[in-house]
Homo-oligomer: A and B are copies of this chain.
Amino acid sequence: MRVLEQMREHNPLVHCMTNSVVTNFTANGLLAIGASPVMAYAQEEVADLAAVAGALLLNIGTLSAEQIESMIKAGKAANQAGVPVILDPVGAGATTFRTEMSLKILAEVKVDVLRGNGGEIASLIGVEGAVKGVDGSVSGDAGDVSRRAAKQFDCVAVVTGEVDVITDGTRMAKVANGHPWLTKVVGTGCLLGAVIGAFSALDRERILELTTEAVACYGVAAELAYRETAEKGIGSFQMAFLDQLSRLDDEKVSELRRVEHGRNEGTGHE
């Protein structure tokens, strides 16, 4: 699968409804990887855009009740048009409002990919997690949490962490690429959600595989960026990461990816 080549050829349009902190970084990251971003939030137009986009990203990082309404409107239009929907429930578990609004979206919109850290995803399936602010770490086993989320919401679940887990509830991939400095740049998780959208847009029938590919490419870019900037610091790393996304090709990814495929077996206690 020469997926990056396809990306640069098709430039899928990703409609991002994301938080105000990361909107610029998200747009630049999508451009770097070869996709086309469009940010739009108004009730009057979100359905129009979502329906013609290659993918729709819903990220609740700086949510308001009004924005959630817009997101649901966009999500329903995407569902109707067969456009993949990615949900990033930023900070779910950190406040009741975030947990409730995430669940509201999941109840009203068919989400294709749910991406979060362990604490966020755990809170959506009712597992208690210690989430500190918006960068909560996983409580419990990522494989277990992701499988249960995938089954409960009938979606691909992505739990990011030191090793990223991607599952549809049955099949599972683990991606060991990436670098801790990603946690030192705001919006790297959020941009990953958008990049998963761009990959999903390439083939709506192969979302699990393409999501795994997106996560691997992302991690490889981070590793290459770190090599360039280890002596400098996280400002330089941020820009080098965008540089690497823009220069990444299928050969480089193929050489450096560390992906393990398997089954996501339940414990039988669910």
Residues of A at under 8 Å CB distance from B? 13, 19-25, 27-28, 31-32, 36-42, 44-45, 48-49, 61-65, 91, 94-98, 132-135, 184-187, 232-236, 238-247
Contact = CB atoms under 8 A, between A and B. Distances in A.
A114 to B, nearest CB: 21
B236 A44 contact: no
B184 A31 contact: yes
Number of identical protomers: 3
Contacts of A239: 235-236, 238-239
Contacts of A32: 184, 233-235
Contacts of A185: 28, 31
11 contacts: A21-B39, A27-B186, A27-B187, A37-B133, A37-B186, A41-B62, A233-B243, A235-B239, A236-B240, A236-B243, A238-B242
B27 A24 contact: no
Contacts of A244: 233
Given A97-B48, A186-B24, A242 B234 contact: yes
